[in-house]
Amino acid sequence: MKKVMLICNAGMSTGILAKKIEAASNNSLKVSAYSESEYVDYLSDIDLVLVGPQIRFLMPQIKQAISVPVHAISPVKYGMMDGKAVFEDIQKLIEV
């Protein structure tokens, strides 16, 4: 099972999106959500990191700190909490 981490300011809104992505994947993904201040403590076995639109300015710093692919979540898909669309994006980035 592939593991995807979502990072945002506090991890709360991404927690909702994480559940929707897991449901859209028929639970073929394990998706977790963390704040930008704590994510480094949970990087074990992560296959992909997705960054919330509100902190995408931190992407260079995040990319430098970790060795897995890092991508931004579309602001529209994030705002709509569209788990299915984000899951489709994930499928393009990693083999699920």
Q: How many structural domains comprise the chain?
A: 1
pLDDT tens across 2-50, in order? 999 999 988 678 999 999 999 999 999 999 999 999 999 999 899 999 9
Calpha distance 72→51 (Å, rounded) = 5
pLDDT tens across 68-78, in order? 999 999 999 99
Distances in Å between the Cα of 69 and the Cα atoms of 25, 46, 47, 51, 80 are: 19, 10, 7, 11, 24
- Residue 10 belongs to domain spanning: 2-93
Q: Which residues are catalytic?
A: 8
Q: What is the CATH number of the domain that holds 37?
A: 3.40.50.2300
- Please tell me the predicted confidence (pLDDT) of residue 11: 67
H-run or E-run covering 6: strand 2-8
